[in-house]
Structure 1
């Protein structure tokens, strides 16, 4: 590997993280001169030095050595659209994008940011979906237990709630996926809400 590529990558990642050379020195436990020589391409770091720098920058060592991280909007869009598999089964909306994210993790520009947003949104969406359906069953069961029976009108309204809730949740998910595919195409940050950060 040529020093100039590694030096460019270290410098780029350090600046992206908003760190000065002195802060990187402090976080990595390396000398300032070592950091300067690496960034100027004067020396090639040892494996231990690479590990220290990658830990200080909070990235995988491969992200430092694999300087050819490329931009592939097509893959990002495909990964985003793969979450439409939730239509077949809700958990597929988490599983398929996760597999695509892991396959190219740290190899494509913005894949970590996009992948984590998609997965966190899909996990949150699944939790809300199943919690809403379970809550409706609990309310229906409590009504039966408290009255001893249940009227046909109440049962029908409970089923209507389920249908409206499911339709709303599915439409919301599809709209977010399409909206964010457009944002990826336009080189804008994805926007998924609500989402809890699980990954």
Structure 2
């Protein structure tokens, strides 16, 4: 998990120690999240987001690409945007 927490805190001029105190999350746990040693629970992510007044999604780095596959008879088939739009249009008819 690649949290943007360090970047957000730096932009706002908040130290990890200050954020730990205001959020109620231990500084060691926050450090472990930032270093990728442990992953925060959904409740902890919500707590972090609430304390920063951001949506949980904003805590994650945006990825360049998402790949989706469907497995049928043991074979993986790539699914692209047009496949998804075709499925949606067939469902709406």
Give the structure-1-normalised TM-score. 0.30
List runs of 5+ in structure 2 lacking aligned partners.
Answer: 65-93
Show CA shifts across 1:148-179 (max 9, x none). xxxxxxxxxxxxxxxxxxxxxxxxxxxxxxxx
Q: Quick one: which of 45, 48, 57 aligns to 1:53?
A: 48
Q: Aligned partners of 2:38 and 2:56: how far apart in 1?
A: 17
Equivalence for 2:87: none
Q: Which residue of 2 aligns with 1:136?
A: none
Superposed displacement of residue 35, structure 1 = 0.6
Kindly indicate whether residue 34 of structure 2 is the aligned counterpart of residue 39 of structure 1: yes
Equivalent residue number for residue 23 of structure 1 = 18
How far did residue 10 of structure 1 move? Answer: 1.0
Higher strand share: 2
Alignment of 1:1-199 (within 5 A): 3=1, 5-6=2-3, 9-65=4-60, 67-68=61-62
Which runs of 5 or more structure 1 residues have no equivalent in the other structure?
71-199
Scaled by the length of structure 2, the TM-score of the pair is 0.62
More helix by share: 1
Q: After TM superposition, give the deviation of residue 62 of structure 1 in Å.
A: 1.1
Instruction: Report the CA distance between 1:29 and its aligned residue.
Output: 0.8
Structure 1 vs Structure 2 CA RMSD: 1.7
Q: For 1:44, what is the secondary structure of its paired residue? A: coil
Tell me by how many angstroms 1:69 deviates.
7.5
Greater RCO structure (CA 8 Å; 6+ sep) = 2
User: Partners of 1:18 and 1:60 in 2: how far apart?
Assistant: 19
Structure with bigger gyration radius: 1
